[in-house]
Amino acid sequence: MLERDIKIAKSMANDIIIPDPAPKWVGDAFLDIYAKLEHILVKDSVRCFLRFFENCEGQGMSSYLTITAQTLTFIVSFNALRCAKVVLEGMAPELYGMHANPNCINKYGYFVLHEAAERFSVDMIKLLLRHGASANVRTVGNDVIENLLPLHVAVENTCLHKYLEDNLEYNLSRS
């Protein structure tokens, strides 16, 4: 990567809410590496993640000098805190100055903060907020319930969890 490109990548702001600029072919390439990346994220191994990123030259995980929203969403879905921190900071030499924008909406119409709220991951939510994620982003599109804040997702899941817990206890006591 050219030195000029690295400077541009490092200067990109995180506080701007944008749609995922990655073209469709990047998303398709991500599907090709999905299974290999999954094994790395289950372990939350930064060293393996960076080696993998470097070996595949970021194909499927980066576009336009940034880590894609799809990649960050995938990392968050596995609650891979160490890997998330690395891509949010973008300081590892293997990333060539690229970093992930926590305010980049993914192709499904939600943000990584929604994903972290869905997973009940307080540590991931804190990490995302420390790296500029906005708590005021809303879901958009046909693939999701529109206009939900991450807080709505967290409350909905907490209520559902409590409902299931209460009914499980009730059903077990009747057995």
Instruction: Please compute, for residue 41, the number of CA atoms within 13 A of its CA located in the half-sphere on the CB side.
Output: 22
Residue 71's identity, in one-letter code, is T
Q: Which CATH superfamily is domain 3-174 in?
A: Ankyrin repeat-containing domain (1.25.40.20)
Residues 6+ apart with CB under 8 A from 134: 15, 17, 102, 103, 111, 113
pLDDT digits (tens, 9 = 90+) for 53-103: 999 999 999 998 899 999 999 999 999 999 999 999 999 999 988 999 999
Cβ pair 112, 79 in contact under 8 A: no
pLDDT digits (tens, 9 = 90+) for 107-124: 888 889 989 988 889 999
Give the pLDDT band (50/70/90) at residue 157: confident
**Tokens at 70, concatenated:** 């799809």
pTM over 0.85: no
Nearest Cα to 71, choosing from 49, 97, 93? 49
**Tokens at 125, concatenated:** 């939510």
The residues spanned by each domain of the chain are 3-174
Show the CA angle centred on residue 41, arms to residues 70 and 102, nearest 5°: 35
| Tally of CB atoms within 10 A around 87 | 28
